[in-house]
Amino acid sequence: MRLRHFAAALAAFVAASAVSAAPQFTQRRIAVAPDIELHVVEAGRATAKAPLVFVPGWSAGADIWTDQIERFAADRQVIAFDPRSQGESTKTTSGNTPEQRAVDLHTLLTTEHVQHPVLVGWSQAAQDVAAYVARYGSQDLAGIVLVDAAVSDGAKGIASRPDDAATQFARFATYVSDQRAYLQGMFGAIISKPQPAGTVERAIATAMKTPPSVGIAMLVADMFGRDRTAALVKMDCPVLIIAAASSSELARQKNEAKVITNARFVEIPDSAHAVFLDQPERFATELADFLKEIDAR
């Protein structure tokens, strides 16, 4: 009986310790332009290790990175945010391009005195990171992580991959007429593994906050607006490219790793587009190994 009580007490202690050890999230709104505020989530604390900045994909918010934030906030500062017109950030009909989001990101980092961060950009955010490097260079970055998205080659992509472009434009009608159905189908396609209760529902609810007319403008600007491939040769910091083995852009991502001076390519099997949700342990391991190399510099 005493052993049983001891075991129960130990289990309760471990559970309580796990709860108390969970990182505390701070949420704020940061002004990055006139009448534009970004919803920012921060965890961990500033240390000698490089800060980690997670940038979400199209119509997603900082909350989609929650699991990875919790994993890395134990020993470094971790920041995630909702880009303009996404999640809890200001909705606007102007500036919904990777180029303006890059300016927003730079303003956010400057305002918050975040020095030499590692930028982690997933999907649409790969364009934001490329636009950032095109404008500001990479000398102030400790590293870059591009997650399952090739950097856009602009309108040339329509000519070189017409079927992909036609498929994307055909989906716009569904998105405008039934936003929720479109998003349910999208998240059903980009997440292939069972998720903790509420994860997909929260992602859909966040994406619903982006007006469809704005969402379409964002997609067009992201995929076909500008050729950002020139930014690849300007990435002088360490770069990690993490791709799902099932990605339709796998070959392009592999080629990018050859163009970038100091890049490493990782292919994650048994995963859809949201690799950090489908394979969180593998994703975290690859990112942690990359951060070890950076922190050792």
Residue 66 bridge partners (DSSP): none
Which residue range(s) make up the domain with 54?
22-295
Q: Residue 161's pLDDT band (boundaries 50, 70, 90)?
A: confident
In a domain, 259, yes or no: yes
Predicted confidence at residue 25, as pLDDT, reads: 87
The count of structural domains within the chain is 1
Q: What pTM value is reported for the model?
A: 0.90
Q: Does 233 reside within a domain?
A: yes
- Is 4 contained in some domain? no
**CA 296 vs CA 100, 102, 273, 290: distances in Å:** 33, 28, 30, 10
Q: Decide if 2 is inside a domain.
A: no
For the residues of 82-105, what is the DSSP string, one character each? EPTTSTTSPP-SS--SHHHHHHHH
Examine residue 5 and state whether it is found in any structural domain, yes or no.
no
Q: Coil, strand or helix: which one is 54?
A: strand
Domain assignment present for 12: no
Q: How far apart are CA 256 and CA 115, in angstroms?
A: 26
Cβ pair 98, 130 in contact under 8 A: yes
Q: What is the pLDDT of residues 244-297, one digit of tens each?
A: 999 999 999 999 999 999 999 999 999 999 999 999 999 999 999 999 999 987
Rounded distance between C-alpha atoms, residue 135 and residue 218, angstroms: 19
> In this structure, are residues 90 and 209 in contact, taking their beta carbons and an 8 Å threshold?
no
Residue 14 lies in a domain: no
Tens of pLDDT, residue by residue over 50-104, are 999 999 999 999 999 999 999 999 999 999 999 999 999 999 999 999 999 999 9
Which residues on adjacent β-strands are paired with residue 146?
121, 241
Spatial distance between the Cα atoms of 4 and 94, rounded to a whole number of angstroms? 63
Taking the alpha carbons of 198, 200, 203, 208 in that order, is the dihedral positive or negative? negative
pLDDT band of 22, cuts 50, 70, 90: low
- Residue 169 maps to which CATH number? 3.40.50.1820
What's the pLDDT band for 119 if we cut at 50, 70, 90?
very high
Q: 169 pLDDT band (50/70/90 cuts)?
A: confident
Is 246 in contact with 271 (CB distance < 8 Å)? Answer: yes
* Residue 15 pLDDT > 70: no
What letters, b where the CB count within 10 A reaches 16 and e where it falls short, cover 153-168?
beeebbeebeeebeeb
Residue 130 lies in a domain: yes
